[in-house]
């Protein structure tokens, strides 16, 4: 076993850390409050290679490995989880989906722009009646010969009003169940495609989340990804990698809160001494350090599995389940260590606590991760 990072890993970690501290930190409170994330910051992330981290350089990507991806995700998420979810969806779900399963034409037309940040992508699986139960797709795409006719509603779509390219999962043949589902590339601005109002959220408020409406949208046949009926497998395979990104996001949120709590505990005095000298505070910090370290190992193990070509369905579920639990638990503790100051925006920990919650919900809730894990261990 080799637990060391390469020089390239350390370099990219430092680049991401500098970007997060120098460019994301100022304004993060206002972005959260205003529910905004400027295009200029997305452009900068594109210039740094963060929008197509693992994409082959021949398609404009950075050609890095999954370990690099999680190192970048952790650094961005320590400061701004709204920034990191834009990166995560674009990388794990959209770029990966097109690179792994798309046609050469689709890669040339879309991936080359998505990988550089010129385009932003969205992944559209969830519906009002299909969240955890993703096979219950009500959105339909009817084969009309040269094109598919798309009708339906998608819910909770990250980058909903920002994206140029939407990967939309839809039922093409109800009788075939999950084998009658396909995935289509839909361009923004296509006739009949409407974007609903922005959701007013608890956390990751800088990230825009919208419902989408498709009314008789014509999708060219060439925009279907993979063989007929591949859509559900596509969604499950891409989400498996997506969970590594969200696990890294949770890890970053936890680490960010821990670093703030550690610093504050050495500054704040009560009863004539720094609060870090009170054992109950010191033990909270010890628990944070221990459990965040464990989460980091699980996240890196899942990333390593993907880089090695191993199956990562279970290791990504384990990493997401655990890292999100640690993020939720220890952001609450970070607020507690800050006392009253933890309850106001200037100290950042209340935002991290709000941001942590989503990591237990999207890309499969914690309950769904437990289904994946328990099915696997009971089958073996
Ligand atoms: C901010 C945000 C961004 C999102 N971004 C995207 C996106 O970009 N693209 C996209 O497609 N989706 C996105 N989602 C949707 C997200 O993936 C779903 O909300 C999530 O999968 C849960 O689905 P649901 O909300 O329908 O909850 P439900 O499926 O209704 O679940 C409700 C509760 O029941 C539990 N539950 C359900 N079934 C079972 C079961 N079999 N056993 C045990 N417990 C169960 C769940 O764990 C949960 O606790 C986003 C959601 C949010 C809030």
Q: Is the CB of 13 under 6 A from ligand 1?
A: no
Q: What is the pTM of this model?
A: 0.98
Helix axes 231-267, 313-337, angle to 10 degrees: 30
For ligand 1, the distance from its centroid to the CA atom of residue 131, given in whole angstroms, is 4
**Helix/strand/coil for 247:** helix
Asked if 363 is an active-site residue, the reply is yes
Q: Is the CB of 135 under 6 A from ligand 1?
A: no
CA neighbor of 213 nearest in space, from 97, 94, 127: 127
For ligand 1, the distance from its centroid to the CA atom of residue 75, given in whole angstroms, is 26
Q: Is the dihedral of CA 239, 61, 87, 228 positive or negative?
A: negative
- Please state, in angstroms and rounded to a whole number, the distance separating the CA atoms of residues 39 and 90: 14
For ligand 1, the distance from its centroid to the CA atom of residue 147, given in whole angstroms, is 31
Cβ contact 111:60 at 8 Å: yes
142 beta partners: 149
Which one is catalytic: 33, 74, 363, 367?
363
- The per-residue pLDDT string of the chain (380 residues; one tens digit each, 9 = 90 and over) reads 889 999 999 999 999 999 999 999 999 999 999 999 999 999 999 999 999 999 999 999 999 999 999 999 999 999 999 999 999 999 999 999 999 999 999 999 999 999 999 999 999 999 999 999 999 999 999 999 999 999 999 999 999 999 999 999 999 999 999 999 999 999 999 999 999 999 999 999 999 999 999 999 999 999 999 999 999 999 999 999 999 999 999 999 999 999 999 999 999 999 999 999 999 999 999 999 999 999 999 999 999 999 999 999 999 999 999 999 999 999 999 999 999 999 999 999 999 999 999 999 999 999 999 999 999 999 97
Helix axes 313-337, 366-379, angle to 10 degrees: 140
Q: Is the CB of 125 under 6 A from ligand 1?
A: yes
């Amino acid at each position: 076993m080799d637990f060391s990072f390469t020089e390239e890993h350390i370099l990219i970690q430092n680049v991401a850390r500098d970007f997060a501290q120098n460019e994301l930190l100022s304004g993060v409170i206002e972005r959260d409050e205003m529910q905004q994330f400027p295009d200029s910051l997305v452009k900068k992330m594109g210039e740094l290679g963060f929008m197509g981290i693992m994409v082959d350089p021949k398609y404009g990507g950075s050609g890095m490995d999954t370990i690099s991806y999680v190192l970048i995700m952790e650094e961005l998420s320590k400061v701004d989880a709204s920034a990191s979810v834009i990166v995560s969806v674009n990388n794990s779900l959209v770029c990966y989906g097109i690179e792994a399963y798309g046609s050469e034409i689709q890669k040339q037309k879309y991936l080359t722009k998505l990988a550089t940040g010129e385009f932003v992508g969205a992944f559209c699986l969830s519906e009002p009646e299909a969240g955890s139960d993703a096979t219950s797709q009500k959105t339909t795409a009817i084969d009309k010969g040269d094109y598919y006719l798309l009708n339906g509603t998608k819910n909770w779509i990250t980058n909903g009003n920002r994206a140029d390219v939407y990967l939309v999962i839809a039922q093409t043949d109800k009788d075939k169940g999950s084998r009658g589902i396909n995935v289509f590339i839909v361009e923004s601005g296509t006739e009949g495609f409407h974007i609903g109002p922005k959701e007013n959220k608890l956390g990751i408020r800088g990230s825009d989340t919208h419902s989408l409406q498709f009314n008789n949208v014509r999708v060219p046949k060439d925009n279907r990804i993979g063989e007929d009926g591949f859509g559900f497998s596509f969604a499950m395979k891409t989400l498996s990698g997506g969970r590594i990104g969200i696990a890294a996001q949770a890890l970053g949120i936890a680490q960010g809160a821990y670093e703030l709590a550690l610093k504050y505990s050495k500054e704040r005095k009560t009863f004539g001494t720094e609060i870090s000298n009170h054992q109950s505070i010191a033990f909270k910090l010890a628990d944070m350090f221990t459990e965040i370290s464990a989460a980091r190992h699980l996240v890196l193990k899942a990333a390593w599995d993907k880089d090695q070509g191993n199956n990562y369905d279970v290791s990504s579920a384990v990493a997401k389940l655990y890292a999100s639990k640690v993020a939720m638990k220890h952001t609450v503790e970070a607020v507690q260590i800050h006392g009253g100051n933890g309850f106001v925006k200037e100290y950042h920990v209340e935002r991290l606590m709000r941001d942590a919650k989503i990591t237990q919900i999207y890309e499969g809730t914690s309950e769904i991760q437990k289904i994946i894990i328990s099915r696997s261990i009971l089958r073996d």
